[in-house]
């Protein structure tokens, strides 16, 4: 599959993930990946692959948590014809589980968008206007509070910004703009 069929990708997500919060997270990461791909001048086909990597990165988390992301990268995504760069990005988003560090551009951006998207969603849930008037300072202040969204690894958020070559504040500001209307 050289081109990504977005409807089929969304259906695949629905087939494997029932939890609405996890689906929401996957859609957020897909939006962030798409926005970054566009900002980097990627072709429409490449942008679709970045979007698919974001959408499907946690595909096996709900049904196969102990195997994540192995089940997705070894079986599910190849069986559905996803391109190697999408599969490898999904593999590299969890280096502590797979041993594969994010190296290519799509891999680095997926790693950078994953944990930060989840954290920013948690911040938005504490705000009356969600993302619409969110400021970078709101996010960085919560990052310092280790009790807030304590399961989100702060080191991964910092590492993500570093590996895409952006100051953390700039990465957060970009993501706020992506999610402004969520």
Residue-wise pLDDT for 87-105, tens only, equals: 999 999 999 999 999 999 9
pLDDT tens digits, one per residue of 114-130: 999 999 999 999 999 99
Question: Does the global pTM surpass 0.85?
Answer: yes
- What span, in angstroms and rounded, lies between the C-alpha atoms of 100 and 107? 10
- What span, in angstroms and rounded, lies between the C-alpha atoms of 119 and 3? 31
* CB-CB contact of 74 with 52 (8 Å): no
Task: Give the model's confidence band at 3: pLDDT under 50 very low, under 70 low, under 90 confident, else very high.
Answer: confident
- Classified as helix, coil or strand, 156 is helix
pLDDT tens digits, one per residue of 129-175: 999 999 999 999 999 999 999 999 999 999 999 999 999 999 999 99
The closest alpha carbon to 26, from 64, 7, 2, 52, belongs to 52
> What separation in angstroms does the CA of 13 have from each of 55, 57, 61, 141, 145?
7, 10, 11, 33, 32
- What span, in angstroms and rounded, lies between the C-alpha atoms of 158 and 153? 9
Task: Give the model's confidence band at 2: pLDDT under 50 very low, under 70 low, under 90 confident, else very high.
Answer: low
**Max CA-CA distance within the chain?**
44
- What span, in angstroms and rounded, lies between the C-alpha atoms of 112 and 107? 9
Please tell me the predicted confidence (pLDDT) of residue 182: 87
Q: Give residue 68's region: left, alpha or beta (phi > 0; psi -120 to 50).
A: beta
């Amino acid at each position: 599959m050289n081109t990504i069929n977005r409807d089929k990708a969304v259906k695949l997500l629905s087939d494997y993930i029932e939890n609405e919060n996890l689906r929401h997270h996957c859609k957020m990461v897909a939006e962030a990946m798409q926005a970054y791909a566009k900002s980097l001048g990627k072709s429409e086909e490449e942008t679709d692959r970045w979007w698919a990597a974001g959408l499907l990165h946690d595909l096996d988390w709900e049904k196969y948590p102990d195997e994540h992301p192995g089940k997705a990268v070894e079986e599910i995504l190849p069986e559905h014809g996803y391109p190697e760069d999408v599969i490898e990005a999904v593999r590299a988003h969890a280096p502590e589980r797979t041993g594969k560090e994010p190296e290519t551009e799509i891999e680095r951006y997926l790693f950078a968008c994953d944990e930060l998207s989840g954290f920013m969603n948690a911040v938005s849930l504490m705000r009356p206007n969600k993302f619409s008037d969110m400021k970078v300072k709101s996010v960085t202040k919560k990052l310092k509070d280790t009790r807030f969204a304590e399961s989100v690894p702060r080191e991964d958020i910092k590492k993500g910004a570093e590996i895409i070559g952006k100051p953390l504040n700039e990465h957060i500001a970009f993501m706020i703009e992506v999610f402004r209307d969520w």
